[in-house]
Amino acid sequence: MFEKFGEMGSYEEVNLAAEGLKKEGDKESLYALAEENGVDKEDAEDYLLGYTQELIPNAISGAVSKLKVEIAKNTKLYEGQELINDWISRIRLKIMESDVFARAVRSKGKSLKECIASILKWSFANMVDLDHELVKAAGVNAGRVALGVPGIRTASELIDKYYLSGGIDISAQSKAEPEQCTENEPEEEDGDV
């Protein structure tokens, strides 16, 4: 994914590399650096022409551009996966809300694929059998149906744990109470309950 320049741990690091390439007059390498780090060619041109002072202006842009590259390089993993794309949307929202979180996403060694894998590991560790009546009402003919999908609050906590710490301790999470939905709780705006 970061074949030519390697994974850089901050937007500032990308900007330092861009500054060096610009001083050397190496436009092609600067375009390659921009592409490898999720920066549009037009933005790289603006930087080269002096319309902007930095290739990546802030931590939010740095994190969003890294996600852009990660999604583009792994399209087959995420395309058509509604739940996973909801998790990615949650990550994007967290990036917009917190400079600290944005820096964590951009940091070296953290990846979208590993974050999603961590949530999936939690999901398998927290599977529960669905009630037979519910399965029957759904028209499913199976002896056993189990789910372990985290609710939005738990998914958000798992995302934080991945990006803001050393990862997710599945054994500690599997003892957590699952999120409960009652008839009196209003639905969230995006349709999740």
* DSSP-based three-state secondary structure for 154: helix
pLDDT of residue 144: 87
Contact 183, 191 (CB under 8 A): no
Q: Residue count of the chain, please give it.
A: 193
> How far is residue 185's CA from residue 190's CA, in Å, rounded to a whole number?
14
| pLDDT band at residue 75 under the 50/70/90 scheme | confident
**134 CA to centre of own chain:** 33
Residue 191 above 70 pLDDT? Answer: no
The closest alpha carbon to 68, from 47, 52, 91, belongs to 91
| pLDDT band at residue 1 under the 50/70/90 scheme | low
**Domain-wise residue ranges, the chain:** 58-173
pLDDT tens sequence across 114-128: 999 999 999 999 999
Contact 161, 168 (CB under 8 A): yes
| pLDDT band at residue 174 under the 50/70/90 scheme | very low
HSE on the CB side for 95, CA within 13 Å?
24
Residue 6 above 90 pLDDT? Answer: no
> How far is residue 88's CA from residue 111's CA, in Å, rounded to a whole number?
12
| pLDDT band at residue 77 under the 50/70/90 scheme | confident
